[in-house]
Structure 1
Amino acid sequence: MKSTARNLYSGLLWMYVIMAAVSLGSTSHKLPSSFKRCRQNDAHLNDCLRVAVQDAFNKMMNGLPKLGILSLNPLQVSDILIRSEGAVSIEKMHFKKVLIHGLKGTKILKYKANLKQYILETESYTDQLSMEGEYTIAGQILILPISGEGKSNITLILGDAAVTAQSESDNLFFIFISAELHTNHTLIGEPVMKDNKLHMILKEYIVSFKPKLVTFNFENLFNGNKRLGDTMNKFMNDNWQIMFNELKGPFQVAFGEVFKEISNRLFSKIPFDNIFIKASEHKP
Structure 2
Amino acid sequence: MNSITHLIICVTQIIIVFSELPVPKCKLSDSNCIRSSAQGAIPVFTAGMPDIGTEPLDVMHVDNIKVDLAGLKLVVNDISIKGLRKANLTKTDVAMEKKQIAVAWDTDIFMKGHYKASGRLLVLPITGDGDFTLKLKKLHVDMTIPFTMAKTSDGKDMIDLKSYKYKYEVMDGANFQLTNLFNGNKVLSDTMLRFMNDNWKIISVEFGGPMLEKPNKKIYESIKTYLRSQPLENIAEY
TM-score for the superposition, normalised by structure 1: 0.63
Query: Partner letter of residue 76 of structure 1?
Result: H
Question: How do 1:142-181 and structure 2 match up within 5 A?
Answer: 142-156=122-136, 158=137, 180-181=138-139
Q: 1:112 to 1:76 in 2, by over 3 A?
A: same
In structure 2, what is the Cα distance between the partners aligned to 1:73 and 1:183? Answer: 16
What residue is the counterpart of 1:190 in the other structure? 148
More helix by share: 2
In structure 2, what is the Cα distance between the partners aligned to 1:255 and 1:64? Answer: 17
What residue is the counterpart of 1:141 in the other structure? 121
Contact 1:202–1:260 (CA<8 Å) still a contact in 2? no
In structure 1, what is the Cα distance between the partners aligned to 2:132 and 2:208? Answer: 19
In structure 2, what is the Cα distance between the partners aligned to 1:225 and 1:36? Answer: 61
Matched, 1:95 2:76: yes
Q: CA deviation at 1:240?
A: 2.8
Query: Partner letter of residue 90 of structure 1?
Result: L
Q: Which of residues 32, 35, 38 is equivalent to 1:47?
A: 32
Contact 2:62–2:214 (CA<8 Å) still a contact in 1? no
Q: SS of 1:38's equivalent?
A: coil
Note the alpha carbon deviations across 1:93-125, whole angstroms, 9 max, x for none: 222222222333222233222122122223322
Q: Which of residues 200, 210, 215 is equivalent to 1:240?
A: 200
Query: Partner letter of residue 129 of structure 2?
Result: E
Unpaired runs of 5+ residues, structure 1, are 1-32, 159-179, 279-284
Question: How do 1:31-46 and structure 2 match up within 5 A?
Answer: 37-40=25-28, 42=29, 45-46=30-31
Q: SS of 2:164's equivalent?
A: strand
Unpaired runs of 5+ residues, structure 2, are 1-20
Matched, 1:131 2:111: yes
Matched-pair identity in %: 26
Q: SS of 1:241's equivalent?
A: helix
Matched, 1:56 2:41: yes
In structure 1, what is the Cα distance between the partners aligned to 2:164 and 2:147? Answer: 7
What residue is the counterpart of 2:13 in the other structure? none
Note the alpha carbon deviations across 1:123-168, whole angstroms, 9 max, x for none: 3222x42112222222312332212223322223x3xxxxxxxxxx
Contact 1:137–1:149 (CA<8 Å) still a contact in 2? yes
Matched, 1:230 2:212: no
Q: Which of residues 169, 172, 192 is equivalent to 1:212?
A: 172
Query: Partner letter of residue 110 of structure 1?
Result: K
- The total of aligned residue pairs comes to 216
Q: CA deviation at 1:47?
A: 0.8
Q: Taking CA–CA contacts closer than 8 Å with sequence separation of 6 or more, which of the two structures ends up with the larger relative contact order?
A: 1
Q: CA deviation at 1:222?
A: 1.5
Larger-gyration structure (1/2)? 2
Contact 2:128–2:183 (CA<8 Å) still a contact in 1? yes
TM-score for the superposition, normalised by structure 2: 0.73
In structure 1, what is the Cα distance between the partners aligned to 2:148 and 2:49? Answer: 29
Q: CA deviation at 1:64?
A: 4.7
In structure 1, what is the Cα distance between the partners aligned to 2:81 and 2:216? Answer: 16
Matched, 1:81 2:66: yes
Contact 2:27–2:237 (CA<8 Å) still a contact in 1? yes
Note the alpha carbon deviations across 1:53-83, whole angstroms, 9 max, x for none: 1122123454556556555442222232233
